[in-house]
Each structure stands twice: as C-alpha cells, then as structure tokens.
Amino acid sequence: MKKVGLEKETEFFVTGVRTYVDADDAMTEFRRMAQHKCWTVASRRLGDINKALDMRLTPADLHDYDQKTDDHHYIGKQAEVKGLGGLYFCLRLSREDKGSNFDAFVFLYRKRRDIAEGLWDRSRALEAVTWKGRNNLGFGQTLPENKIPKFDNYLDGAVTDFLAFINESGGLKKHLAPAS
Amino acid sequence: MGGTPAFGRTGYRSNHASRPFDRSGTIGSILKDLLNYARLTEALRAWSALHVSKPPRFLSWDSTHLFIKSGKILDEYAVKYLQTTLTSSNKELAPLGEPLMLNLGKHRWLSTDREESYSDWLAWILQGMSGFAEILPLFGLNDEDAGGLLGSAGIVRREVKSQHGRTDIEVPIGKRGLLLIEVKVRITGSELPLQLERYAQMVAEQNLERSVLVLLGVGAPDPSLPLYNFTFTSWRTMCQRLRQCARRLRKSDPLRAAAILIFCGAVEQNLLGLSGEHRHLRSLATVNYLDEWRSEV
C-alpha cells in the first residue's frame, strides 16, 4: 500500500515538473483575460457608476485585483472610492462540496465600520444584496456552467443591481456625510 | 496584485470559527485540567471523538492538462489576431510605425532595472511638451487637480537631492508650484509609503502655492498603503496616452513623435511584457493593449 502511494506521489511530481511552466502560463493568461473582461464591463458602466457614487473614475482608475481566501478566488478589477474604501468587479470562483460554483460579482468595501452605516443598515432587509459582510456589500449573479461564455452579461447585471441599490439609497455621497 | 484589504479585515467568515477555544470559559477549564493529567486525557479522548476528518482531496493534473490544451487552441487564434492588430496599429501611426515591431528588449540602457534610464527619457519627453495642459493629462490629471493654474513647465529636474532623499523627476509649475513624479519600474513594496511620506513632507515644507504628486508604477500599490497625496498612474495608461500624443504629432513633428513612440515601445516590451512577436500565451495581452489605445480618440 505504501509503495503504491509512493508511486502515485512520484507520478504526480513528474507530471508537475513536465507541465508546470505551461500550466503557470495558462493561469497567468486566464487571470489577465478575466481581469480584462471585468475592465471592459466596468469601463462601459463608468458613467452610471460615477453618477451614483459622485466620482470621476476613468478606465485607468480600474486596477488589477486578485485575491484568494479559504473558500473563494476573486479575480477582477478594483477602484478606490475616496472616503469609503473600494469598489470591486470580479469573477468569483468557489469550491463547494458538490463541485465548483461561479459568480459575476460586484462589491463595495468600507475601511471602517463607522463609515456609511446607513447604507449597511439598509442592506439588511434587501435580497438584492447577496453578501452582507461587516464591511462588504456584495451583488452577485450566479453563473451557470452553460452561461460562462456570457460572463460579461452577468457582471453587467451585477453592476445594475449594485447601482439600483445605491441610487435607491439616495446615492453614496449622502451616506458619506460627516454625521454618518 | 493581491493583498487588498477587502476580506482580511471584514466579515469574511473563517472556517475556524467553531474552534472550541473560541468559547468563553474553555481556556480556563483547560488550564485547570493541566494540573490533572488523567482528566486531560479524558478531555483529549472526548475531543478526538468529536473530530470528523474531511476526506482527503484527490490531487490530479487532469484539470491542468485540459487548461493547457485549451491554451494551445487560444494561442493559435492569438497569432493571427496579433498580426491583424499590428497592421492596424501600423496604419494608425503612419508614416511612422508600430514600436512593438521594433525589438527594444536587448538594449542595456533599457534593461528592467534601469530606473534611471526610464526617468531620464521620460523627463526629456516632458521637457519637450508645450506645458501643463499637455503634461497633466498623461497622468490622468487636469487643471483642477493642479489648482486651476496652468502654464508652461519650467526646466525639468532629475534626481534632486535633499535631506528627504533623491527625487526622480521634478517639473516646476511657475515660480511657486511643483509637479513631482516618483518613478518605479518594479512592483512596489512595503517601503514605498515611507518614501512617499518623506517626499510629501519635503513638498509641504516648501510652502508651495500648488503641488501635484504622481507615483508612476507598473502595478497599483495595495489600496491599504497610504500614498500621502500621491496619485498613482500606471506605465500602461501613461504609454497609451503618450501613443495618442505621438499620433497627433506624427505629421507636424515626426521626429518628436518617433522618439515618444520608441520610449513607449521600450516601456511596453521591458516593463509591461508586451511584444509584437508571438510569445506563448502572451499575444492576446498585446492585442488588448493595442485595441485599447487605438479606441481612445
């Protein structure tokens, strides 16, 4: 039994040595492509986003974003939101017990809990806000396997959900007032 | 880029949240148990019984093989797409040409770590510009950011020494203003905020009427790092704007346009990893880059 285990281990190592460089290139290109798709969608919606957030973001303000947590990979673009934190547009990849899960995801991040409290309070009762973290508000659109080629449309939908929430909340500026 | 603050400090739930040590009072009782090994053994047995081991995840290269195969198919398409895009870009810049088609990766002056060479060349390009109305947009800024007072640029200075360090590029704005550019050709690290803070302090001590601080780098710094009034601009964005500038100048001032384009080509090839030649799984990055600058009218 131990010998079989050792052979498997050796086989895995040998395959790794042979394929690592190609695999790494493929991962790098995949990440770049996912980020470019997010950039394209976010750039197209910047007019609406700037209006809702009362900002002057340009496509050049969208920077690469790539983060891994225990359960998820996030790949996409991020923009600084002055006075709050950041706005993120990404592809979220998750490993679940029964397989993988994919989402087109937009989320707003605040640096501190005492910023934009009204916005976070309002999110509690809303189903459109799919992730209500202490400092994150996420708007996700689950991406079925057969819809992966339509990722752009799903991310665009997530942006629409995010904008609807901000606009119905009276815009971001209102919540960044010193009183909040 | 990684390490953004979005999750690390947030409501992201760790899967360790249900560790027994998280329950109040447990630590105290265990400390008491340390005095009684028999009881501790019992406790360990109880814990052991509670433990449910996860089945080991089977590691396989199957996904990787599939991924690599897909990459090869993509690459075949990318070769053709790259040629078409280079041809379009070449036409756009005629009578000059697409700088990515000229190999600028071998010159010793331009090797990756020659920050001084890139700063020297950029300083020279800025000096040739008509004024701040032309310079500031390269960094995504406008007259509002500069205090609404535009004018011609003074003599561009390099490596000005002071007790705070040695600055990369300084462009005087009239008699009482300054555009300071900190140039980075590598991914910036944790030492960056200290450097920026020193320079911001240096500028503050000069009691200038207006100052514009720019950080020029390959990738945006981690959003959690303080930038002390510096505005970040990427080489990628700045080169795309310089290309637009060269496109405008290519007929009226072809020599200057050519110098700008060669600088862009050097940055794009050496710092951004782009190329006019096909490189394994890198060609689409070049295609997207060229499409981006050409779409900006």
* Cβ-Cβ contacts under 8 Å, B61 against chain A: 12, 15-16, 19
Choose between B123 and A9: higher pLDDT.
B123
DSSP B221: P
As a whole number of angstroms, the distance between CA B14 and CA B274 comes to 39
How many domains is chain B built from? 1
In a domain, B62, yes or no: no
Give A59's pLDDT tier (boundaries 50, 70, 90): very high
Choose between B130 and B199: higher pLDDT.
B199
pLDDT at A112 over 60: yes
* Cβ-Cβ contacts under 8 Å, B68 against chain A: 19, 22-23, 26
pLDDT at B149 over 70: no
In a domain, B246, yes or no: yes
How many domains is chain A built from? 1
Percent of chain B clearing pLDDT 70 (strictly above): 75
Residues of the domain holding A121: 3-176
* Cis status, amide bond into B95, omega within 30 of 0: yes
In a domain, B160, yes or no: yes
Give A179's pLDDT tier (boundaries 50, 70, 90): very low
Q: Report the candidate in B268, B263, B271, B278 with the shortest Cα–Cα distance to residue B79.
A: B278
pLDDT (0 to 100) of residue A48: 96
In a domain, B60, yes or no: no
Residues of the domain holding B129: 80-295
pLDDT at B14 over 50: no
In a domain, B275, yes or no: yes
Q: Which two tokens stand for residue A110?
A: 């605040």
The least confident of A114-123, B97-106, B185-194, B245-254 is B185-194
pLDDT digits (tens, 9 = 90+) for A73-93: 999 999 989 889 899 999 999
| Residue from the list A19, A67, A74 with its beta carbon closest to the beta carbon of B61 | A19
Percent of chain A clearing pLDDT 90 (strictly above): 61
pLDDT digits (tens, 9 = 90+) for B151-205: 666 788 888 888 778 889 999 887 778 899 999 988 777 788 999 999 999 888 8
In a domain, B37, yes or no: no
What average pLDDT is seen over chain A?
89
* Residue partners of B184: CB distance under 8 A and separation at least 6: B115, B192, B215, B216, B217, B218
Q: Which residues pair with B172 in a beta bridge?
A: B178
pLDDT (0 to 100) of residue A180: 40
The alpha-carbon gap from B170 to the nearest alpha carbon of chain A, in Å, equals 23
Give the predicted TM-score (pTM) of the model: 0.78
As a whole number of angstroms, the distance between CA B4 and CA B224 comes to 7
pLDDT digits (tens, 9 = 90+) for A1-17: 566 667 777 888 888 88
Q: At what angle do helices A46-53 and A2-44 cross, to 10 degrees?
A: 80
* Cβ-Cβ contacts under 8 Å, A61 against chain B: 140
pLDDT (0 to 100) of residue B226: 84
